[in-house]
Structure 1
């Protein structure tokens, strides 16, 4: 990587929330040992939150941009370098279903599409898309 670098990462507050969820549900699982279903449910929630928190600890930076291109987290903690020349489109994908609305930063290389949420980026998707476009073109 050379020159200026932009990084988007998971917010630390979100990691703290996940850790608190792990602790609360682990305690609930222990306290509900007389209720097998409650113990299993609380244990599963604690386990899922622990896996998500672990990913945030091992790969907190989800997207990096430099003069050569992007580095995007792929899978649990892997990453992939994508040169600027391979990127066909950067856009924000918005969808509304019933009462919920989702937004994803979409990076399309023609062969692969990388989707990152505001939880991955730590900022609104549109803000990250605008910064990427400006960084890429220099305007």
Structure 2
């Protein structure tokens, strides 16, 4: 991007993956449910109120992160841009990326996938729910952008 915030990459070469809006709406709705539960159900029980407050704060934080940094990963022939911290971003040229792979784990009858972008000094992990896409498909797209195919 130049100083005016204009993408210098020709249209169609940059691909972005973002948190699906339905997940952000769900997190916001659950935050409201937790607030209502705190008001209606705790009845002066400090332990229950503490749990509801912790849950509410956590859900509100995740919702806020989705609103402030909805695009978790973007890629172009020059490199990738990953979300870091709460809502920051870091530009990584392809020369800094050592490996892109999908880590698949099977545990307790569930199968989970994480996209890993390894720079040697940092490891950036993304789930399918963060990307709004299948991790394997994202890895394949990153590979094609990296090699220029």
User: Same-fold call, TM > 0.5?
Assistant: yes
State the TM-score, normalized to the length of structure 1. Answer: 0.93
Is the Cα contact below 8 Å between 1:28 and 1:39 reproduced in 2? no
Q: Which runs of 5+ in 2 are unaligned?
A: 2-8
Aligned counterpart in structure 1 of residue 39 of structure 2, from 23, 30, 35: 30
- 103-112 vs 34-43, which deviates more? 34-43
Quote the residue 1:80 is aligned against.
Answer: 90
- 13-22 vs 81-90, which deviates more? 81-90
How many residues matched? 139
Q: Return structure 1 stretches of 4+ with deviation > 3 angstroms.
A: none
- SS of residue in 1 equivalent to 2:65: helix
Structure 1: distance between partners of 2:32 and 2:19: 20
Shift in Å, 1:47 = 1.1
Quote the residue 1:49 is aligned against.
Answer: 59
Over the residues paired in the alignment, what is the CA RMSD in angstroms? 1.3
Quote the residue 2:26 is aligned against.
Answer: 17
> Where do residues 95-134 of structure 1 align in structure 2 (5 Å cutoff)?
95-134=105-144
Shift in Å, 1:138 = 2.6
Structure 1: distance between partners of 2:145 and 2:122: 21
- 105-114 vs 57-66, which deviates more? 105-114
Shift in Å, 1:38 = 2.2
State the TM-score, normalized to the length of structure 2. Answer: 0.87
Is the Cα contact below 8 Å between 2:27 and 2:59 reproduced in 1? yes
Structure 2: distance between partners of 1:44 and 1:88: 38
- SS of residue in 2 equivalent to 1:111: coil
Structure 2: distance between partners of 1:57 and 1:40: 26
